[in-house]
């Protein structure tokens, strides 16, 4: 029997001043979405105010999934990560549970927005490690697992020097071509985040981060955004608020990130990845635009306005 144990506990706090209680399109359970976020982005997506009369006409979309789809966003729980199986094995998984012990999806159930340009970030790969961990977007509850190729576990050829993971509730739509980045289509995954703080984090840890820059990586023709961010609890977080600050306080980091992702497949005999936007990092405002657009794409995905294909929506 697979061993099960708690790895980490992370508070995902979305209840703070200036927030509006909302309900999901597919459920009456309320969750909190920052008022500032709704105003800044005009976000309607899956949510609306509880006093909106449309709540009386909610419908559940039927699917072939084994259990009803729910897009509840967790509000103010203690999220635990649970290890199943042995690390460095094909059956190893890191699942997420809410405070009641119920499994939840780190991709769908943890809210993206915290307000004031702050977002939740989920760590998949700790800095200075090589195992290629990622959210299993095609498995129920989308646990974190180690990627495989031809039945073997995948490892980077060398350590990644930053904490790496994803923004929840985002999706790079593979049917959308980005005219600003060589017409490349999305890679069918959540948006990747490179967190540049000094601490090595743990797989499954949930951090509050602010985005600083964006790199438009093109991987075998697919657009694979890399949002550069920093955790709010990092000692230098107050010093960096945009792309120029990164170069000032973390000199050479943006170039190092671009070069690392450009070259990491070369040892496996593959060509170097390319970058759009003039091969340069875009600023914070552009990064926020990407986050907003991919959050909207995720909303369309979970509403099934677009086909999910093999993706799990719970």
Q: How far apart are CA 175 and CA 39, in angstroms?
A: 28
Q: 155: helix, coil or strand? A: strand
In angstroms and rounded to an integer, the radius of gyration of the C-alpha atoms of the chain is 19
Indicate which residues carry an active-site annotation: 156
Q: How far apart are CA 298 and CA 243, in angstroms?
A: 26
| φ/ψ of residue 128, rounded to 5 | 60, 35
User: In Å, how far from its chain's centre is CA 284?
Assistant: 17
Q: How many residues does the chain have?
A: 314
**Largest CA-CA distance found in the chain, in angstroms, rounded:** 58
Find tokens 């992370």 and name the residue.
10
Q: 32: helix, coil or strand? A: strand
What is the dihedral angle through the alpha carbons of 28, 144, 291, 158, rounded to the nearest 10 degrees?
A: 170
If one counts every other C-beta atom within 10 angstroms of the C-beta of residue 191, the result is: 30
CB 223 within 8 A of CB 186: yes
| φ/ψ of residue 26, rounded to 5 | -105, 5
DSSP 56: G
Q: How far apart are CA 24 and CA 72, in angstroms?
A: 6
Q: Which residues contact 100 (CB under 8 A, 6 or more apart)?
A: none
CB 35 within 8 A of CB 18: yes
């Amino acid at each position: 029997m697979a061993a099960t144990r708690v790895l980490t506990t992370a508070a995902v706090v979305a209840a703070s001043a200036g927030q509006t209680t909302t309900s999901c399109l597919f459920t009456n359970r309320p969750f909190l979405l920052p008022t500032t976020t709704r105003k800044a982005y005009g976000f309607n997506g899956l949510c609306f105010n509880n006093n909106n009369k449309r709540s009386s006409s909610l419908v559940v979309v039927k699917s072939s999934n084994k259990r009803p789809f729910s897009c509840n966003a967790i509000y103010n729980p203690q999220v635990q990560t649970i290890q199943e199986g042995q690390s460095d094995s094909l059956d190893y998984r890191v699942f997420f549970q809410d405070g009641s012990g119920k499994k939840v999806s780190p991709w769908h159930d943890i809210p993206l927005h915290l307000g004031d340009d702050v977002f939740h970030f989920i760590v998949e790969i700790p800095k200075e490690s090589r195992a290629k961990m990622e959210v299993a977007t095609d498995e129920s509850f989308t646990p974190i697992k180690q990627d495989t190729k031809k039945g073997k576990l995948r490892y980077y050829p060398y350590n990644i020097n930053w904490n790496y993971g994803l923004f929840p509730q985002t999706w790079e739509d593979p049917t959308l071509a980005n005219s600003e980045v060589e017409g490349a289509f999305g890679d069918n995954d959540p948006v990747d985040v490179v967190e540049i703080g000094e601490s090595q984090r743990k797989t499954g840890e949930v951090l509050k981060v602010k985005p600083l820059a964006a790199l438009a990586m093109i991987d075998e023709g697919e657009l694979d955004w890399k949002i550069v961010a920093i955790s709010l609890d990092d000692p230098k977080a107050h010093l960096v608020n945009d792309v120029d600050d990164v170069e000032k306080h973390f000199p050479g980091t943006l170039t190092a990130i671009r070069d690392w992702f450009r070259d990491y497949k070369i040892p496996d005999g593959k060509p170097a990845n390319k970058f759009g936007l003039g091969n340069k990092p875009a600023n914070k405002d552009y990064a926020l635009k990407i986050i907003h657009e991919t959050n909207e794409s995720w909303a369309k995905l979970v509403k099934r306005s677009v086909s999910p294909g093999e993706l799990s929506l719970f």
